[in-house]
Amino acid sequence: MGIVKNALYKVSKKGFLSTFKKQSIFPYYHLVRDNQVPHIENLYEFKNSKQFLNDINVLTANYKPISPNDLLENKKLENNFLISFDDGLEEIYSVIYPILKKNNLTAIFFINPNFVDNNEGLYKHYISIIISHLKKNNFEKSVVDQISQILSIEYTTIEEFKQKFINIKFSEREKVNEILELLTIEIKTFLKEHKPYVTKEQIQEMINDGFYFGGHTMTHPPLNQLTHEEQKKEIINSIDWLKENFKIDYSFFAFPFSDKSISKKLLNELFEYDNTIRIFGNSGLKKDIDKRIIQRFSLENPTKQVEKQIVTENLYKFFNKFIGKYNIKR
Ligand SMILES: [Zn+2]
């Protein structure tokens, strides 16, 4: 949360939620889990199953659930919600799927085909694994210095080192493998043992049970660091992969990291690819250039109250309207 949003969160009240019912909301998460895991713990916080169940209860008490199919059929939205989950982590199958099923809810899961079946993982997750490894050895200075040299970064505090490491460029991700080798971390073994991502069988089972899947690019790159053609390929290949492997006929896609830098040209090409595509962003309660682009906000932060968070997003919407940033320009 930024400075403005944090200030708005402080003044927001749970009770305001009833005034923000005449709208449809699209909250998103990555995972729900009751303990920490090395590949996530240094990147962001997430909710446990009890907190997630509370979110579900608050959402269903205030908004009516819709199916992703309702979006494809252009059903009129009034006071609805639909949740989605990015990155195809295994918890969508082991934790989230049973909870949603029990509550008669469906959802969209956005996945990166390269990571399905755990042969390969997201470079940011690898960085978190490395930081957890370093933490065990109290960030031994000689080792941290060696890594900083590989990454060509300078640091004064461990916190600064971590931030710079987490935010390295996509083009430098090969260096992460170099560091894994240096620390003799067997990443293939980690992937086989921990299975951080869903498998094809699990996806098939969830599809058979009425859940929806969408692309999230093949390898989860920050798209603004790729050429136009590379962006397009990463996106369309991930949607095609789902169609080829699971015989689904719809196109859903969510942007990795952020949709801020996405050009009008790219969006138009995606509409040409499939004019019924539904594209999901994470810019909050904002209006995009086309009705087929659906903007979401995160409810992942476990330290925030869900009611107050939804109120905050609405107050932020008014703030954006006031400063002329409600309508997204591409
Ligand atoms: Zn993602």
pLDDT recorded at residue 18: 87
**pLDDT tens, position by position, 222-270:** 999 999 999 999 999 999 999 999 999 999 999 999 888 899 999 999 9
- Stretch (H or E) spanning 298: strand 297-298
Residues 67 and 113 in one domain: yes
Residues 157 and 222 in one domain: no
pLDDT recorded at residue 16: 86
**pLDDT tens, position by position, 110-122:** 999 999 999 999 9
Is 146 inside any structural domain? yes
Cα(293)–Cα(287) distance, integer angstroms: 9
Is 206 inside any structural domain? no
Angle in degrees, CA 31, 33, 39, rounded to 5: 65
User: What's phi and psi for 208, nearest 5 deg?
Assistant: -60, -25
Residues 174 and 278 in one domain: no
Centre of ligand 1 to C-alpha 122, Å, is: 9
Residues 237 and 92 in one domain: yes
Is 224 inside any structural domain? yes
Centre of ligand 1 to C-alpha 170, Å, is: 14
Exposed / middle / buried, residue 232 (Cβ in 10 Å: 0-12, 13-18, 19+): middle
Q: How many residues does the chain have?
A: 330
Residues 161 and 284 in one domain: no
Centre of ligand 1 to C-alpha 109, Å, is: 11
Is 328 inside any structural domain? no
Q: Is 19 helix (H, G, I), strand (E, B) or coil?
A: helix
Cα(54)–Cα(61) distance, integer angstroms: 10
Domain that holds residue 232: 3-117+213-322
Cα(90)–Cα(195) distance, integer angstroms: 7
Residues 287 and 317 in one domain: yes
Residues 151 and 260 in one domain: no
Centre of ligand 1 to C-alpha 32, Å, is: 15
Residues 165 and 230 in one domain: no
Centre of ligand 1 to C-alpha 141, Å, is: 32
Tens place of pLDDT for every residue, the chain, 330 residues?
688 999 999 989 988 898 888 899 999 999 999 999 999 999 999 999 999 999 999 999 999 999 999 999 999 999 999 999 999 999 999 999 999 999 999 999 999 999 999 999 999 999 999 999 999 999 999 999 999 999 999 999 999 999 999 999 999 999 999 999 999 999 999 999 999 999 999 999 999 999 999 999 999 999 999 999 999 999 999 999 999 999 999 999 999 998 888 999 999 999 999 999 999 999 898 998 899 999 999 999 999 999 999 999 989 998 898 888 989 897
Is 197 inside any structural domain? no
The pair of structure tokens assigned to 51 is 């907190």
Is 202 inside any structural domain? no
